[in-house]
Structure 1
Amino acid sequence: MRFSVICAALPALGAITAASAQSAPNVLDPVVITAQRIRESAFDSPAAITAVTREAIDNGGPQVNLSEVLNRVPGIVALNRQNYAQDLQISIRGFGTRSTFGVRGVRLIVDGIPATMPDGQGQASNVSLASAGRIEVLRGPMAQLYGNSAGGVVQVFTEDDATTPTLSVSGAAGPYEQRKFGLKYSTTTASGDGITLDASRFDTDGYREHSAARRGQFNARWQRDLSRDTHVSVVVNALDQPDTQDPLGLTRAQWESDPRSVATAAMDYDTRKTVRQNQIGTVVEHRFSEATLFTGRLYLGERNLFNALGIPLTAPPQASNTGSGGVVQFDRGYGGLGAQLSHRISLDEGRALRLTGGIEYDRMRENRQGYINNLGAQGALKRDERNVVENRDAYLQASLDVHRDWTLTAGARSIDVRFRTRDYFIQPGVPPAPDNPDDSGSVGFSGVNPVLGLTWHAAKTVNVYLNAGRGYETPTFTELAYRNVGSGLNTDLRASSSRHLELGAKWKVDGVQRLDAALYDIDTKDEIVVDTNSGGRSTFRNAGPTERRGLEVAHVAQLTDGLRSTLSLNLLRARFADGRRLPGTPERSAFAELAWAPKAAWGGFQSAVEVVHTGSLVVNDSNTDAAPAVTLLNLRAGFAQSLDGWRFTQLVRLDNATDRRYAGSVIVNEGNGRFFEPGLPRTWLLALTASHAF
């Protein structure tokens, strides 16, 4: 691909539609803050950034998984495993696909509080979509200023508080005993307190055998202006997900013959997970002047996990149990703080210099144990350790209007991540068992991410930007935990570094269309990849050089007062140096939507047709097999009514309307050949909401 592709694509895509509306909705140019850590329109932001609105969240599904709405964002792939024990598989520009559970290579932030641990591993399951107002997705070099990540940043913001006391009750139902119930309260008091409370419970028996799940969530935010210049917010959230069954992956033969089946090991060892997480955080903003803003954050949390795996471990001869498999259990405490100062210096002719700098410190400490899995029951202790990881980062970003048509952006972030483990499971060998040595140790990683960008304001309706930067991604504690041979931290594993180059353009067409395009080139050294993956336990290694070449296109148009189209396209060539594809990475993905909401419609009627395409997914580094590409057709319709202070809404969805059989995701390098995780066949959803403003 060549950067000239953008020049050719702009007029062609701009002519896709002929608009007749008089004005465009806010969806064409939402306000974002992620790219430069200041409020600005998405059009003016000098980076590839996309905002998902509350409207899209309401219409996307039962509001359980981020995959319901992120599929409309170019450059990001959110694969729903239909396995709530393993969370979603989220990747941006090919970073994050190696993840066997959780999210890696992508930074997650919720209301200014990190949802990614200091080692770079995050969880998407604690995001409450029911109270989310918007989701911002930042890709490319500018994302490197957020620290230990490579692909990008996903930031979720709770919706604005209601101006009057408003209570909402919601319910959703679908096949396989899917049920969700929610209760939300929001208000702004006379004294200026903004309050949003959101509680929900989701249950499902699962599409596959042994895949039942229950998830309870609570999200609350209080905010207030303490003075004209000081604003404070406090966010509390909780996740309770007990006894979530894990059906594991399937071989190709199992998937093709019966996608609802389950791996034998899942039944033999009752593979399952219980997770509980509680967190509280506060963000304070103080404006020293119209030009200077201070932002500080502080947060604390705890996460407890019990995970029964199907790992073939051998019990010591002296133990009373002789089962196999593994049980992981940990109690984790984490927290952090950050401080940021932004200052704007006005220059002549309307130009300005904007400076932003900050420091961040985050720490995680966990007590981790491993046990024998006796056919589903916890057996003898096999591992006992205390782990600590912490990061100390600092960053500085500057944006200068060198001319009324040109803006120069530069920045750098220093990253320092330290891992320590203390081994408490030390035993002399009893023949024929080997000695179990002291595996205590430590390892550290440090680097600097520089970024440089230039934006050309070619016209009031056209912006073109060129960004270059370097990324740095450390291994997570999970990736350091095991060696292929021996025991102790995998200190041979190195951090990966990447060079990013991005050329992008944003164009507003006739005030009723918006076209964004970005062409990128990424080279990575010491890419961290899965080495072996068996029964839920993975080891990792550094691969040789990899390259990613891609094109992202997003187009939104208000065709008439009630008709709107959305199109996103991602083309990605992600390869190892020898030409093999990076596993788990689709080289094509696309989303297209035609939504109709006639203003004079009875009952607030609105409807849409969605087409979602995901390219083939290679299952391992050797490229010996792949999940085939799939194109899904989704249909939806909604209604809304108002009566005596009440507002009622109904949503009906038919997903995978043509009933395609497909693999929703793959488990990269799975050692037993169980790579495939089936997607859902044709499914329906009915969601109802009743809201009352007092």
Structure 2
Amino acid sequence: HDVPVTLLVDGIPHNFGYGRMDIQPIFPMEIERIEVVKGTADPRYGLGNIAGNVNVHTKQGGEDTEARLLTGSFNTYDASIITSHETGHFSQTYFAGYRTSDGYRDHSELKKGAASGKWFYTPGNDRLRIGLIARFFAMDANAPGYLSKSQTEEDPRQAAGFAGTDGGEQENKHGSLHLDFRPTRDLSWSLKIYAQNLRRTRWARWGDDETQAERFSDDYQYGAISTLSYDLNDGVMARLKIDWGLDYMYQNNLERRWTTVDRVRQDGPIRDWDVNKYYWGSYVQADGDIVSWLRLIAALRMDSLGGSYRNRLAGRESDMLDLEYIWQPKVGAVVTPIEGYSAYANWGRTFQLPGTPQLFGQNAAGDPIDRGLTESTNDGWEAGVKLSPVAWLSVRAGYWEMVADDEVRDKMDGTGDYINAGKTNRKGWDATMTVRPHRWIFLWGSYSHTEAIYTDPGPGLEDRQGKNIENIPDYTAKMGVDVEHPIGIFSSVWLESQGKYYLDPQNVKQKVGDFDLWNLSVGYKTRVATLGMEVKNLLDENYTAFAWNDDHGFSPGDARSFYGWICVAY
């Protein structure tokens, strides 16, 4: 359930050292917009950009203040405030948010808080913009554990009997410098330099017959991202933009584990890894309108990695595998024969690294393994159409496919060695539509159908041949209706739907995980204040939010819940 995408916040990578993205530190009030790029055709990012990227842009600048208070089911309380001020060429923005909740299930209490400050200076000629962003986040949460299917049906609110002290803590610190410079009308340069610390402790027990473990990770990340753009308007082509990007990241990741009883450590660590990784990448992209109806994009990215790993328990240290040059070509085209009617297609390659410690030529026991391992490749393509024949209607539909090859896995011969083997194929189609039949009414919807298959699982895993990959739903969909009357009344009704998925790679066990959740929001807006109420899971459906094991791996979703809120802006 870790998503293979790069998460960025204001253009800065925000993934844990082992790849997991985490959007929890960003409160909704601070978000201005979210950009999602799906697929393999975006050359801007390399590490973690396996199936796309998500860039969260937060609010900056202006001359206003907004505060929001929310309360609701499960003793949930949420308070957020953001304020921005501009004086001459200097702008400053401050945000603070705090949330606490008992949670739907027993032993699922949550407390989290975040704060940020943004300071930017723009001289009078508007060619230069310099800024500083600082962030802090802290969270303390309990975990109710996973249930069996029968327990979920009998009492979904209960916590697993073995999970009475499960939970975790997290603390993030971030600082970044931002520079945007436009020396000429056609040339621009962007530079971001950052440092951040992501620290996480988790206590988890997975079953009655297992012991609790404390999992601690401490990631220090330092990096820089540079983008130079040149708009070439010489009359030969309608439009041509050349981008050259260069980025660097250094990580020091400490990962330790202990056997615990009710969060009390028993003896010494059972895992003690010290990982140092450096990574740099570069790309060049040409994006141009050859003629008025034809846009072509071509890009080439290269990534290089190095570093070292020390297994302190085994007393063994080793360098990273030879991954000096990872080349990733990308191409795309958009054809617009008539205004409002477009067809598009793209193809690209991304990569996925072996996990630690295999990335450094060791297995989990600290024994040497084959250092001939390489990254796995992901080749993906997409083709579709975008239609907007009138201002009030927009439709997009596309078919896509991604093939992952040479995935790193156990050799399955009892030696503990690893190999590049196997191939998987993911394909599907997506559709989105927005309709505004009246200036008060907005209808929207999206649907994504996915088929993911083990096409060649490799030696020792022949029973997976042709089977569906586990934990990938048949489809996901979201659709709704928004109504906003000029007198200030507004409402939304929307449906979140998901299909079933297999829990095992052999597809022997039953499929689970489907749900259809209706939600409702109503409110009234005045010049300075907005009052609102939301009902989540309106029809009170019993459903599984996530499942990973057919015996004791079910996590029940929240029952019907009510929330009221007030937002004041001035």
TM-score by length of 1: 0.74
Q: List gaps (5 residues or longer) in structure 2.
A: 413-417, 456-464
Shift of 1:400: 2.7
- What are the Cα deviations for residues 640-691 of structure 1, in whole angstroms up to 9, with x where unaligned? 112xxxx111121111111111111223xx5x83322111111111121122
Looking at structure 2, the residues matched to 586 and 480 of structure 1 have their Cα atoms a distance apart, in angstroms, of 30
Correspondence for 1:138:
37
Shift of 1:271: 1.6
Shift of 1:169: 2.4
Shift of 1:481: 9.9
Three-state SS of the structure 2 residue aligned to 1:142 is: coil
**Residues 324 and 375 in structure 1, CA contact (< 8 A), matched pair in contact too:** no
Amino acid at match of 1:562: W
Correspondence for 1:442:
319
From 626, 632, 654, the counterpart of 2:511: 626
Looking at structure 2, the residues matched to 341 and 517 of structure 1 have their Cα atoms a distance apart, in angstroms, of 33
Amino acid at match of 1:133: E
1:402 matched to 2:302? The reply is no
1:346 matched to 2:228? The reply is no
| 1:312 to 1:627, Cα distance in 2 relative to 1, 3 A | closer
1:515 matched to 2:515? The reply is no
Q: Which has the higher contact order (CA 8 A, sep 6+)?
A: 1
- What are the Cα deviations for residues 453-482 of structure 1, in whole angstroms up to 9, with x where unaligned? 121122221221111111211145488699
Write the mapping of 1:526-675 to structure 2, written as runs, cut at 5 A: 526-527=406-407, 544-577=422-455, 578-599=465-486, 601=487, 604-623=488-507, 624-642=509-527, 647-667=528-548, 670=549, 673-675=551-553
- What are the Cα deviations for residues 430-470 of structure 1, in whole angstroms up to 9, with x where unaligned? xxxxxxx3232232335211101121122221221111111
Three-state SS of the structure 1 residue aligned to 2:146 is: coil
| 1:488 to 1:555, Cα distance in 2 relative to 1, 3 A | farther
Looking at structure 1, the residues matched to 144 and 374 of structure 2 have their Cα atoms a distance apart, in angstroms, of 32
Greater percentage in strand: 2
| 1:390 to 1:608, Cα distance in 2 relative to 1, 3 A | same
| 1:573 to 1:313, Cα distance in 2 relative to 1, 3 A | closer
Three-state SS of the structure 1 residue aligned to 2:182 is: strand
Amino acid at match of 1:443: M
- What are the Cα deviations for residues 381-430 of structure 1, in whole angstroms up to 9, with x where unaligned? 223332112211111111132222212110011122334222333xxxxx
From 46, 50, 56, the counterpart of 1:150: 50
Looking at structure 2, the residues matched to 575 and 399 of structure 1 have their Cα atoms a distance apart, in angstroms, of 34
Amino acid at match of 2:126: R
- What are the Cα deviations for residues 507-552 of structure 1, in whole angstroms up to 9, with x where unaligned? 21211111112211211113468999xxxxxxx9977211112111
- What are the Cα deviations for residues 269-320 of structure 1, in whole angstroms up to 9, with x where unaligned? x222111111011221111211111111100011222222227999xxxxxx
From 237, 245, 253, the counterpart of 2:150: 253
Amino acid at match of 1:422: R
Shift of 1:341: 0.6
Write the mapping of 1:250-289 to structure 2, written as runs, cut at 5 A: 250-267=147-164, 270-289=165-184
Write the mapping of 1:159-558 to structure 2, written as runs, cut at 5 A: 159-162=59-62, 164=63, 166-189=64-87, 191-226=88-123, 227-242=125-140, 244-267=141-164, 270-310=165-205, 324-348=211-235, 351-382=238-269, 383-425=271-313, 437-444=314-321, 445=323, 446-477=325-356, 486-487=365-366, 495-527=375-407, 544-558=422-436
Looking at structure 1, the residues matched to 305 and 35 of structure 2 have their Cα atoms a distance apart, in angstroms, of 26
Looking at structure 1, the residues matched to 139 and 448 of structure 2 have their Cα atoms a distance apart, in angstroms, of 34
Correspondence for 1:45:
none
Three-state SS of the structure 1 residue aligned to 2:304 is: strand
Looking at structure 2, the residues matched to 373 and 491 of structure 1 have their Cα atoms a distance apart, in angstroms, of 34
Looking at structure 2, the residues matched to 352 and 638 of structure 1 have their Cα atoms a distance apart, in angstroms, of 45
Q: Which moved further from structure 2: 612-621 or 441-450?
A: 441-450
| 1:482 to 1:127, Cα distance in 2 relative to 1, 3 A | farther
Shift of 1:494: 5.3
- What are the Cα deviations for residues 116-167 of structure 1, in whole angstroms up to 9, with x where unaligned? 25653332222232111100111123235421222111101112422x3x33
**Matched residues, percent identical?**
19
1:680 matched to 2:558? The reply is yes
**Residues 104 and 558 in structure 2, CA contact (< 8 A), matched pair in contact too:** yes
Amino acid at match of 2:28: L
Q: Which moved further from structure 2: 411-420 or 447-456?
A: 411-420
Looking at structure 2, the residues matched to 393 and 182 of structure 1 have their Cα atoms a distance apart, in angstroms, of 37
TM-score by length of 2: 0.90
Looking at structure 2, the residues matched to 488 and 264 of structure 1 have their Cα atoms a distance apart, in angstroms, of 37
| 1:519 to 1:132, Cα distance in 2 relative to 1, 3 A | same
Shift of 1:491: 6.8
Amino acid at match of 2:431: V
Q: Which moved further from structure 2: 657-666 or 396-405?
A: 396-405
Looking at structure 2, the residues matched to 342 and 505 of structure 1 have their Cα atoms a distance apart, in angstroms, of 28
The root-mean-square deviation of aligned C-alpha atoms, in Å, is 2.8
Looking at structure 2, the residues matched to 660 and 529 of structure 1 have their Cα atoms a distance apart, in angstroms, of 39
Looking at structure 1, the residues matched to 218 and 348 of structure 2 have their Cα atoms a distance apart, in angstroms, of 37
Looking at structure 1, the residues matched to 129 and 303 of structure 2 have their Cα atoms a distance apart, in angstroms, of 29
Looking at structure 2, the residues matched to 423 and 176 of structure 1 have their Cα atoms a distance apart, in angstroms, of 43
1:105 matched to 2:14? The reply is no
Amino acid at match of 1:507: L
Q: List gaps (5 residues or longer) in structure 1.
A: 1-96, 315-322, 426-436, 533-539
Looking at structure 1, the residues matched to 229 and 350 of structure 2 have their Cα atoms a distance apart, in angstroms, of 23
| 1:462 to 1:488, Cα distance in 2 relative to 1, 3 A | farther
Three-state SS of the structure 2 residue aligned to 1:412 is: strand
Three-state SS of the structure 2 residue aligned to 1:130 is: helix
Looking at structure 2, the residues matched to 373 and 449 of structure 1 have their Cα atoms a distance apart, in angstroms, of 44
Amino acid at match of 1:466: A
**Residues 128 and 219 in structure 1, CA contact (< 8 A), matched pair in contact too:** no
In the alignment of these two chains, the number of paired residues is 550
- What are the Cα deviations for residues 586-626 of structure 1, in whole angstroms up to 9, with x where unaligned? 12111111111122x3xx11012111111113223223233
Looking at structure 1, the residues matched to 35 and 258 of structure 2 have their Cα atoms a distance apart, in angstroms, of 40
Three-state SS of the structure 1 residue aligned to 2:289 is: strand
| 1:324 to 1:665, Cα distance in 2 relative to 1, 3 A | closer
Amino acid at match of 1:651: G
